[in-house]
Amino acid sequence: MSSPLQSKKQQELRHRRARIIQENAQHRQDEQRLKDIMTKSTGESSARFLQIFMVVFTALIISIGTIIKYTQPQIFQRLFQRRKVPPFYLATKYPNSVILDRDLPRFYQTYSIATADNVFAQEAVKKVVRSRNQLKHRLASTKVIVKAWDAANIKSLVQRGLCGDDFLHAYHQGSDQRKDDLVLWCLVATRVVEGYFYESVEMIDSALFLTRKRGIVVRKSQQFATESDGHGGALSTSFYLHPRQNNTLLEWIPSKALAMAISTPEDSLASPLEARELLERYLYDLVITQGNEEDFLVLEEQCQEERPDRAIGMDCPHGDNGECCFFVVPEKYGGRFHLNDDD
């Protein structure tokens, strides 16, 4: 039997063990309560911070929207809108014997009536259509508008006196070749169009996608002058595209070429061809000699029977039976211009 002393000690131990267990349980409850308080506090802080952030973000969006609405800054158009290239406007002309309303009467304003008597007019129209389609080649969304002028259109233009009295006098006194030069340069100088090509020219590809605001000229293969007289060559007047640059010197090129065509004394020259050669030398001076070559794609003229690589046009002034000269894009301008390339 245990003594009363031992019983008392065992009882004290049981009480002490119970108190320790109770204190540990209380301690765990306090820790859990503290943890719950911290979690609740953190959640409330996060919710409050999120509310503040949403208020600030909403105010910022409203402010930006208000600024855009009333100031309309161009920067957003540059960032989110693709800049469209303005359409190209070019002119050409039909042979002098072709008058569309007379030779190709319209059937319900849509289809022309083909007869044995208007085969020549049909071929002239088909040639212009082919050139128009080729000029659009390689251009994704940029329009190319080619206005073909016949004798009736040109007569109306001349009667309007668009280019002045000196132009009228030179036109009425000039040869057919000089009249062509006067009319086409008048259209470019007065900004009716920004370029042209002769009726003897047929476009067989397009270099318009390479221009990047530059113009197009064609360096003739034959050198008409020697270095001693200050002329290093000539630029063909068969094809010309004016650059899209805000440059005063460039803006005067068509007007100066027109003035040269008007003032050339054709009657004192050996032939109308000589007058055109003088104009081609003068165009060379305006573009090459005066340092404006960087503002143009300078194509090379190659006169041969077979079409060379990188050719985009051909000039056959004597028709299908004569020699043709091709307009060739030099390699330095890049682009793919191969006979088997359909891209």
pLDDT in tens, 51-75: 888 888 888 888 887 877 777 666 5
Token pair for residue 90? 């070019």
pLDDT at 71: 72
pLDDT at residue number 167: 92
pLDDT tens digits, one per residue of 224-237:
444 434 456 899 99
Pairing of strands 111-112, 144-149: unpaired
User: Any idea where the domains of the chain sit in the sequence?
Assistant: 4-78, 86-333
End-to-end CA distance of the chain: 114
CA gap 169, 259 in Å, rounded: 13
- pLDDT score for 191: 93
* The pLDDT value given to residue 230: 47
Q: What pLDDT was estimated at residue 340? A: 58
Locus of tokens 């307009």: 327
How far, in Å, CA of 340 to CA of 321, rounded? 26
| Residues in the chain, pLDDT under 50 | 223-230, 342-343
pTM value?
0.73
- Of 122, 88, 90, give the one whose Cα is nearest residue 104: 122
Kindly give the pairing relationship between strand 296-303 and strand 325-328: antiparallel
pLDDT of amino acid 57: 85
